[in-house]
Amino acid sequence: MMPLWLLVVLIFGGLLLIGAIIDWIAKRRKQRVLIERNNRDSHSFDEGYDPRNKDEYLN
């Protein structure tokens, strides 16, 4: 039989792994929804485009 501390470590490690996977899936789903909403709401290609010369910021 395995020692009690090893059993506790395995249970907590498994819970952390499951929580990390659920968090990763939720973040990925949220990012996909934001991308779809942004694509649906953008009406023109140059929306948010800054026409100023970009080289002036490099100096």
What pLDDT digit, counting tens, does each position of 11-53 carry?
999 999 999 999 999 999 888 888 777 776 655 555 556 666 6
- Short-list 49, 26, 53, 16, CA closest to 8: 16
- pTM for the whole structure: 0.54
| pLDDT value at residue 26 | 93
| pLDDT value at residue 35 | 79
The pLDDT-based confidence of 2 (bands split at 50, 70, 90) is confident
